[in-house]
Amino acid sequence: MAKDQIQTDIEQTFYAAEQTGLKLAIKGRLVALLVVGLWLVPTRGAERATDIVLALLVLAALGIFHFLLIGSAWDRKWVKYVFVTIDLALFCVAVAVLPPEPAMALPQIFMFKFDIYPYLFIILGVAAFSFSPGLVLWSGLVGAGGWLAAYAWVLSGMSAPLEWADALADGTQEHFLRVFLSEDFVGTGSRAQEAIVYLTVAVLIAVVMQRARQTVRRQLEAEQDKATVTQIFGRFVPGAVAASMIEDRGALDPVERQATVMFIDIAGFTNLTESKGPAATVGVLNAYFDAATEIIGRYDGVVTQFQGDAILAVFNVPIENPAHARCAYDAAREILDKVRDGRFAGERLAVRIGLNSGPLVAGNVGGGGRQTYTVHGDTVNLAARLEALNKQHGTSILVSQSTAALLPDANLRAIGAAEIKGLSAPVGIYTSDTPPSTAASGV
C-alpha cells in the first residue's frame, strides 16, 4: 500500500472518529442542558423559568439540527466550528443583555458577579468530545473573546466603574468592603483572569488531544505497515507464518510438536503438462493452488511448500490447534469435493492425498540471509508415501493409523498394513468411503 494511501486512510479514520465524537458530544450537550434546566428552573424563580426553558429549547434544537447534519451531504469540516461559535455567542450575548434579576433593577455588571462563568466550561467540555484539537482551541479563543467582549459591552454603559486599585487605595477593611460591594465595582483584572484561565484550559486540552492523536496516528501507521508487510510477505510464505514472524520480529524458533501432515499431488500431471504446454499448465496450477490453499487456510492449516504440482501442508504448527487431525481430514475431504466438482483454468483435475499424524520439528531454516519455514521428520515422509500409495490402491485419500486413531467418528475403511520404505514395522492405512475423483492415468 502506497504511503500516500496509508495517510489518506488514517485521515479518514480520524475524520470518522471526529464525526462519532461530535455525535456523542451533542448527546452529552443535551444531557447537560437537561441537568442545567433541572437546576435553574426551580432555583431561579418563576419570573425566569419561562426564559430559561425557552433558551434551553433553542439550544436543544440547534444541537439536534447539528446532529442531523453530521455525515449528511451538507456536512462540512467547518460546520462544527459554526455551531460551537453559535453556542458561545448566545451565552455571551445573554450575559451582556439579559437582566441579572427581573424582579430587581440590578446593574448589568452583576451578571459577572453571579456564578455564570463556570457554565462556559460545559461548552468547552462538550467540544472536547469531538477529538478535534482545532475545535477545542477555537472554543477557547471564541469563549475567552466573547466573555471579554460581553464585559466590555457592559463596561461601556457605566459612568464611573470601580476597580481593584480603588478597593485597595485606602488600605482599610471598611474602604475595601465598601468598594468591593458597590454596584459600580467591576474588577477588570478578574474578568481578564477568567478569560486567561478559560483559554489556558482550552489550550491544555487541545495539546493533550493532539498528543493523543499523534499516538493513535503512530499506532495506525504501525498497524498499516504491519498489514502491508504481512500481505507482501504472505505471498512468499504462509500467511500464518508471516504474521507470527512479524510478531516475533523475524524469529520462529524450531519447535517439536504432534501435528498432522497433508501431502497432495495431482494425478496425471505429466500428461497434463505434455498436452497443455508449460504456460497453460502454470495457469492451471495457480488456479488449483489458490483453491486448495484457501481451503487449507480455513481449517487453520499452513502450506509450507509447493513441490512442482504437490502441496505440503501441516496442521498444529506454528499455530496450535488441538483438533489438528480433524481439521486436516475435513480440509482433505473438501479439497476432494472441490476438485471433483470444479475446473481449474478450464481443466478438470484429480488429486491424491496422504494424511499422517505424529511428532515433527517445525521452524525457520536457511542460510546466506535467506530462510524458509518448513517441517521435518518421519511424520512428513510417511504422509508423502501415503499419497503415492493411493495410485496402487486406486484411492484418492489414504490416512495413517495414527491419524485414524484421532478420528474415531470418521467414516474410514481399513485397507490393511503397508510396508513403508525406511520404517521397520508395517503401517496400518485407511481410506474414506468417499468415491475417488475421476483421475487421468499416469504419474
In this predicted structure, what is the pLDDT of residue 47?
67
CATH superfamily ID and name for 251-432: Nucleotide cyclase, GGDEF domain (3.30.70.1230)
In this predicted structure, what is the pLDDT of residue 22?
74
Farthest CA pair distance, the chain? 117
Residues of the chain with CATH 3.30.70.1230: 251-432
Contact 315, 383 (CB under 8 A): no
In this predicted structure, what is the pLDDT of residue 438?
41
In this predicted structure, what is the pLDDT of residue 441?
33
Q: Is 442 left (phi over 0), alpha (psi -120 to 50) or beta?
A: left
- Closest to 13 (Cα-Cα) out of 222, 216, 215: 216
In this predicted structure, what is the pLDDT of residue 203?
95
In this predicted structure, what is the pLDDT of residue 63?
78
In this predicted structure, what is the pLDDT of residue 396?
94
- Closest to 52 (Cα-Cα) out of 31, 37, 63: 37
Tens place of pLDDT per residue across the chain (443 aa) = 445 655 666 666 666 777 777 788 778 778 877 887 777 777 766 666 777 778 778 878 887 887 788 778 887 888 888 888 998 998 899 889 888 877 778 888 988 888 888 888 888 888 888 778 888 999 999 999 999 999 999 999 998 999 899 889 888 999 999 988 888 899 999 999 999 999 999 999 999 988 887 877 777 666 666 666 556 555 545 566 566 656 655 556 688 999 999 999 999 888 888 888 888 899 999 999 999 999 998 898 888 888 889 999 999 988 788 999 999 999 999 999 999 999 999 999 999 999 999 999 987 776 666 667 788 999 999 999 999 999 999 999 999 999 999 999 988 999 999 888 877 789 999 998 654 444 333 33
Percent helix, strand and coil across the chain, each rounded to 5? 60, 15, 25
- Closest to 302 (Cα-Cα) out of 284, 315, 289, 286: 315
Residue partners of 24: CB distance under 8 A and separation at least 6: 129
- Closest to 91 (Cα-Cα) out of 119, 115, 113, 54: 119
Query: What is the number of other CB atoms lying within 10 angstroms of the CB of residue 110?
Result: 15
